[in-house]
Structure 1
């Protein structure tokens, strides 16, 4: 049984489970608590965490388990390991390892709800390409994706592509018919190419506002076109470093009800401040505020080292949105995008994926994480 304040109604409730489902949610005004209960967090973009990188050679089953357990400590009950542009061999090896981890550990299998391929079908342009290695960038290849999907045993549920490639429209249609969510990102596509991609079935903008040219035409560009699309949702990195508050406000107003939070965390998330070395960025620095940057170019970010909890805190403390809305963007909204909202939420009969927390001095202090009715983390 769980006791706490319902994050939407602000009423004290008692929650009971039956196996992996919520059996009952009952109002109990006799409860004296400031602990809050909300659905477990869902992160569709995890490159790594706590020293483990899904994109480095030699990934082990134990490392996948470690990341999952550390994410439970950060309130994440479902996530997508995210594979960036790499060699075919390395992608195959990583997919095999993730599949083995899921087959070996049932609770890991339930937590890894899909795999996100962020590449290699991205823009080759400097700027939009970001840190993705140019030598592995290529045009969308349905046969290659099928090969990877066979290795992953159908676990690839999301792919980020740039629709500037001539092969994009047919590729997107094939993905859509196979149940793979297509996102637009790392792109130099023009307006027509973006519109064609949306018409073909693309439904999301990956970390909108990041992985772009430093300078863009003021009136006609790929950010405005994605914002203008009523069919496209947007994922945003609201860690306080990737996007300024004014831009976050604009994005969330335009994409109200169609925005999700992603951490886009690297292996440096969850590590103490200090100097580190990255296989992509070389010498990097993580400061006490959680900003990860290039050591020889301090103005350049070297990825994200923050969790979804940090993103929620930033949105609330900056008065960009309410706690309830921020929590929804990090839990229920990603599931709505994936078409799984009927399975999860704070209702009887839904999956028992929940977190209990307090707000202390403007920060979420996680107390307990429940995955499939089991307590997987307790402070």
Structure 2
């Protein structure tokens, strides 16, 4: 298979030859003005480190139906996602075990789930019990780090828990983080009320990431020091950002990019209402919520309170580009090759010879990005028939 498209970084026409699931060759191509205008862009498939659900399918409702993980993997194709980390949040120990086991079982039984689920992200329950920092996580299930309990969950998950979000404010967090890191789990700091010293110790012990930086935080903080400044100051920490236009103001996004550079990444942190039409919904976590036509999800009784993210990575890329915070190429990298490289996935090679042929062909128009075709391991897994021929 040979794909002809505009390279997302240069805007120049290229030919991408795909063989045996990998990019065999990528080279410049000739194209006159009319042909160039008709070509889509080619970019690496998107990699989402944090997805709670999509299109009405929820990874945090028990029991998880056997078909759900594979269904989500297939639904995400229209969003350009070729790899993702289903996210299970704070819950009762038995519920967490059931949820991660169901995801693992799906990866054994469903080839689409196995191909696209790169690991499980466990967000909690070892987080801050404080209001604000805890976010929407249920206080009754928040608990101190427990290695034996985590090992039981990891066994239920078949070793697929790849990311653990925790707060290092608990006694013994440093030793716990070292054990996680030694076992191959990526530790991320989030939903925290930790002191600067505790965050410093966490990083020294192996923590590598900040979960949805700037969210899951108190409304008011000491001027300095505080846990946001400290996470920005820790050079080893990568920062994940929800760039949906609602969770973080532009000023914060700009500052994080200045501080972190290529260690800034985009996540959706999407809840199961993402991909659903606007309207009022009743959820098992936030109660009555409203998804506005503008894409904002808030509590029905408190319009100022967000009820999670309802937008995907494509939306975040659009926001970063439209607001002049990042170029299209850099914003796309923040949602593709950077998270892939961070998690040491082969897709980190992007559009280069020898890389997995996880390729998104997309078009731009009216500030929107639309996936025209998606390849996973060289196989066309999605084609936008409605937009074909435009």
In structure 2, which of residues 132, 137, 154 is the aligned counterpart of residue 132 of structure 1?
Answer: 137
Match of 1:307 in 2: 312
Alpha-carbon shift at residue 252 of structure 1 (Å):
1.0
How far, CA to CA, are the matches of 1:3 and 1:234 in structure 2? 34
In structure 2, which of residues 279, 283, 286 is the aligned counterpart of residue 281 of structure 1?
Answer: 286
Root mean square deviation, CA, Å: 1.1
Match of 1:11 in 2: 12
Q: Do structure 1's residue 107 and structure 2's residue 108 form an aligned pair?
A: no
SS in 2 for 1:145: helix
In structure 2, which of residues 259, 267, 289 is the aligned counterpart of residue 254 of structure 1?
Answer: 259
Alpha carbons 2:346, 2:355 under 8 Å: kept:
no
In structure 1, runs of 5+ residues without a counterpart are none
SS in 2 for 1:77: strand
How far, CA to CA, are the matches of 2:200 and 2:288 in structure 1? 39
How far, CA to CA, are the matches of 1:89 and 1:373 in structure 2? 39
> For residues 60-83 of structure 1, what are the alpha-carbon distances to aligned partners after superposition, in whole Å with 9 as ceiling and x for unaligned?
121212211111110000000000
> For residues 175-215 of structure 1, what are the alpha-carbon distances to aligned partners after superposition, in whole Å with 9 as ceiling and x for unaligned?
11111100000000001000000000001010010011111
Match of 2:325 in 1: 320
Q: Do structure 1's residue 367 and structure 2's residue 372 form an aligned pair?
A: yes
Alpha carbons 1:344, 1:353 under 8 Å: kept:
no
SS in 1 for 2:79: coil
In structure 2, runs of 5+ residues without a counterpart are 385-390
How far, CA to CA, are the matches of 1:227 and 1:215 in structure 2? 18
How far, CA to CA, are the matches of 1:50 and 1:341 in structure 2? 28
SS in 1 for 2:24: strand
TM-score, normalisation: structure 2 = 0.95
SS in 2 for 1:235: strand
How far, CA to CA, are the matches of 2:74 and 2:109 in structure 1? 15
Alpha-carbon shift at residue 340 of structure 1 (Å):
2.7
Alpha-carbon shift at residue 34 of structure 1 (Å):
3.5
> For residues 266-298 of structure 1, what are the alpha-carbon distances to aligned partners after superposition, in whole Å with 9 as ceiling and x for unaligned?
000000000001111100000001000000000
> For residues 28-58 of structure 1, what are the alpha-carbon distances to aligned partners after superposition, in whole Å with 9 as ceiling and x for unaligned?
1135334100000000000010001100112
In structure 2, which of residues 63, 68, 78 is the aligned counterpart of residue 63 of structure 1?
Answer: 68
How far, CA to CA, are the matches of 1:357 and 1:107 in structure 2? 22
SS in 1 for 2:271: coil
The correspondence of residues 229-240 of structure 1 with structure 2, limited to 5 A, is 229-240=234-245
Match of 2:182 in 1: 177
How far, CA to CA, are the matches of 2:235 and 2:328 in structure 1? 25
Q: What is the number of equivalent residue pairs in this alignment?
A: 379
Match of 2:335 in 1: 330
Over 4 Å off, 4+ runs = none
Match of 1:74 in 2: 79
In structure 2, which of residues 349, 352, 355 is the aligned counterpart of residue 350 of structure 1?
Answer: 355
How far, CA to CA, are the matches of 2:349 and 2:52 in structure 1? 24
Alpha-carbon shift at residue 132 of structure 1 (Å):
0.5
How far, CA to CA, are the matches of 2:190 and 2:82 in structure 1? 25
